[in-house]
Structure 1
Amino acid sequence: MNEIKGGDASAELSTDLNIITAEINAYQRVAGEAIFEIGYRLKHVKEKDLVHGEWSEWLEKMNMTQGHARRFIRVYDRFAKHAPVHELPPSLSVLYLLIPFDDEELEKPREMPNGSTKKLTEMSRREIEEFKAREKKALLAAEEAEQARKQAEAQRDMALRESDILRDTLESREDVEPEVRTEYVYVEKEPQAEFTRSVSKESRKQFYADFIEELEYIRCKYAAIAAEAPELKKSIEQNESLCDKLDNFDDFWNSFAKSIYKNNTIIEMGN
């Protein structure tokens, strides 16, 4: 079996871990710099058309796919001006994953699942992919929360509009007085005399029947609103003005209902 050795095959490696670590870091820097040198030269050949339209054929001779060459060029375009270059990961696949992030995002410490923190440039390919998946999930959750908030605000606004309409209706009904008609009756025996009489009992009962029917409609409307009142208050709990308005309306209705309802049944009126 062939052995792969660097430098002088007869040279012995040091037993000092610090020296070995320094040597590995040096080779890594060379590998990282090679990525940009290759990307730089691939871009030069393609832009200058040095292969006279035979880009793919030339790449095949170099045992390189077009996709692989494109990654080299894109990594070079994104990170060639990054200083210092040797602090970047010496991996084409990792650098390719980091292309969407700007320099500020690359330097920002990120919390890892185990509680530690790492910069994106310190992560492995798997860690970067998992980080991007978590970010995407968090973004979707934030969008769903924002949509739910807007929907809750729309429902709250609709409920408040309906409560205003209900209050206006109740206030207008309070101002309504029973209709009283005056009839003039001429008595044959005393043709010069005239007198008035109040509206009949049946007419008065009919008026209250209509009024009670309208109240029942308003009660059903309020019941639908009141059923959602806890959720509405929860959605607007940060807005004291709206909370107070909803509480005042609830107090108003309860006070009004006590004078009209008894044991959940409308009190017969007009007898």
Structure 2
Amino acid sequence: MNELILSDNLSQLELEINYHKQIAGQSIWEIGRRLNHVKEKDLAHGEFGGWLDKIGIHYREANRMMTVAKQLPNVTTLSDLGSSALYLIATLPEEEKQEQIQRIEDGDTPTVRELQEVKKRLKLSQQANELLRGENDALRASKVEVRETIKEVVPDDYSATRELNKRLLVKNQELSDSMQAMKERSEFIANKLNEMMAQREEADRKSAQYDELTRAIEESQGQLNNVQKQISAYKNITSLLQKGNDFLASMGGLIYADEKNVLKADGIVRNEFDSFISRGLRFFNDLNDIRKENNILEGEFE
């Protein structure tokens, strides 16, 4: 098969590109092939991006068509696909890319969403491989014997993806267990706090009762002290009254004594007798005044 020789004339290439822009499928490959030719030959003299603007092709779309032209064969079975699907297939690993091309040749045309899912699974597989390689390197660094060899993931099996999912499930379970433990710990602390608050309320209640009882005891003690004082005063007064009665009884003989002549004859005895009578009168007058003014006996027992 003779390959078409492309012109080195930029104007001619522009005409051809504009022509192929109007044709779907195969045109993507043809445009991409010509874009690669312009860039490789530097026909735009270092102004490839500006030249793309001139012919109305965005650089991102140009890059997609150039990738398709480099990575995919120009076959009729691919001509019905759009640029997005072609670009997704072109950027797949070689084995997966050939599998998708064979699938299309067999009449099963994948959608853009399906191809995106394939790329997503391959990316997860690559991440799983990198993770396993990192663990393998860590084991080797710590001089641990590695008995299993890390194998490349086979895309159609996606065993590494499943392994990664298992790891994620284990990690999710660990996080779930941690959250459950934290929840139980929180509930335990909350229960203890409620118990402490209840104990505090009970202590406060008992403290209030204790304060009330203390006040009652103090009041009772005060009342008892008052009673004791009243009793003591009563005893003192009755004792003094008893002594006074005894005194009056012992001195009553003076009224009926036969020593009148002695009192008249002896001036010293007379003076002593008068002094005694005067002091006695003042004493009883003072007691009578106190009794009238203060009612002392009744006041002590109110």
Provide the TM-score with structure 1 as the length reference.
Answer: 0.34
The answer to which structure, 1 or 2, has the higher relative contact order (CA under 8 A, 6+ apart) is: 1
Provide the TM-score with structure 2 as the length reference.
Answer: 0.31
Larger Rg: 2
Higher helix proportion (structure 1 or 2): 2
